[in-house]
């Protein structure tokens, strides 16, 4: 259903407010650069720091600018099932093509709790759902068995896998089947994830290198592995630099170097340290994105 390079969109801010113009221009640029899917209001979009009205508006703007040229997978997850249902309903009303729902953070539910959470959202809203499994941020790891159980529900269509366990996509292919969409959540190992049965990547790096990311995935789909290797080698220092501090502060700084937005983040995140900025600049120059 979803494949290739999907961008985990940043949410630009200006003086504390969502910079709507910068966001709309960023989405239009992504589509023009060949990005295969748009993911507003995820972790990279600072969703925990967005007010509900801001989240609705960001999703609406993404849908409006995309105009059906790329699917919109809206981040709607939280650690409250009721809030997740409400946000998913609003994303559907805004025209999103699917919802990206994170495993509830801080609560640390059991595997049965995870199943019941996702099932409740599934039963309440008729919208395709991609599970976002990111143990490093949520402190819970959905097992393959739980995911296989959820995959039997018609609108649970895939996973954004940020476990960085490269045996996992292959095991999921075997346990769940070919129709379940496997998307990497880790830029640095995205190609290895593809080799293990993945379909694509929800990418932070695509915020600043959308054409390169899209071309790499298109080359993979064509079996042009020499091009995949060349682009991957070009991007790996950038992947590393963009996670030198808590994301999305480094990628927002990188985007500011391109004039796409300010480097502003919302508390409790903070601006990047000078040494991180230098690392990002070097990586951007090495990738040929700035002079």
CA angle 280, 225, 130 (to 5 degrees): 70
Tokens at 94, concatenated? 């805004």
The span from the CA of 225 to the CA of 231, in Å, is 10
Catalytic residue check, 253:
no
End-to-end Cα separation, the chain, in angstroms:
38
Q: What are the φ/ψ torsions at residue 251 (nearest 5 degrees)?
A: -70, -30
> Which one of 3, 92, 160, 279 is the catalytic residue?
160
Instruction: Answer for the pair 153, 126: CB distance below 8 angstroms, yes or no.
Output: no
Tokens at 186, concatenated? 């880790």
Strand order in the sheet with 181-184: 37-39, 4-8, 200-203, 181-184, 156-161, 129-133, 98-102, 73-75
> Which one of 115, 132, 193, 253 is the catalytic residue?
132
Catalytic residue check, 252:
no
Taking residue 157's Cβ as centre, other Cβ atoms within 10 Å add up to 18
Q: Which residues are catalytic?
A: 132, 160
């Amino acid at each position: 259903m979803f494949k290739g390079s999907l961008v985990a969109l940043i949410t630009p801010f200006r003086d504390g407010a969502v910079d709507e113009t910068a966001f709309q221009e960023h989405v239009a640029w992504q589509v023009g650069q060949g990005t295969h899917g748009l993911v507003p209001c995820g972790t990279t979009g600072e969703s925990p720091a967005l007010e509900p009205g801001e989240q609705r508006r960001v999703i609406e703007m993404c849908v409006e600018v995309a105009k059906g040229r790329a699917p919109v997978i809206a981040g709607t997850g939280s650690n409250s099932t009721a809030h997740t249902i409400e946000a998913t309903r609003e994303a559907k009303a805004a025209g999103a093509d699917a919802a990206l729902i994170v495993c509830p953070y801080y609560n640390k539910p059991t595997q049965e709790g995870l199943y019941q959470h996702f099932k409740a959202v599934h039963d309440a809203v008729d919208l395709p759902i991609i599970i976002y499994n990111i143990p490093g941020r949520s402190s819970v790891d959905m097992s393959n068995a739980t995911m296989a159980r959820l995959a039997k529900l018609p609108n649970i269509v895939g996973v954004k896998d940020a476990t960085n366990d490269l045996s996992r996509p292959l095991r999921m292919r075997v346990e769940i089947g070919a129709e379940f969409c496997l998307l990497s959540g880790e830029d640095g190992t995205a190609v290895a994830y593809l080799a293990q049965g993945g379909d694509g990547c929800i990418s932070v790096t695509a915020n600043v290198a959308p054409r390169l990311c899209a071309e790499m995935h298109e080359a993979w789909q064509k079996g042009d592995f020499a091009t995949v290797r060349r682009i991957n080698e070009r991007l790996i220092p950038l992947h590393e630099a963009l996670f030198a501090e808590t994301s999305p502060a480094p990628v927002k700084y990188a985007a500011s170097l391109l004039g796409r937005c300010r480097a502003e983040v919302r508390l409790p995140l903070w601006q990047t340290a000078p040494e991180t900025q230098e690392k990002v600049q070097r990586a951007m120059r090495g990738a040929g994105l700035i002079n």
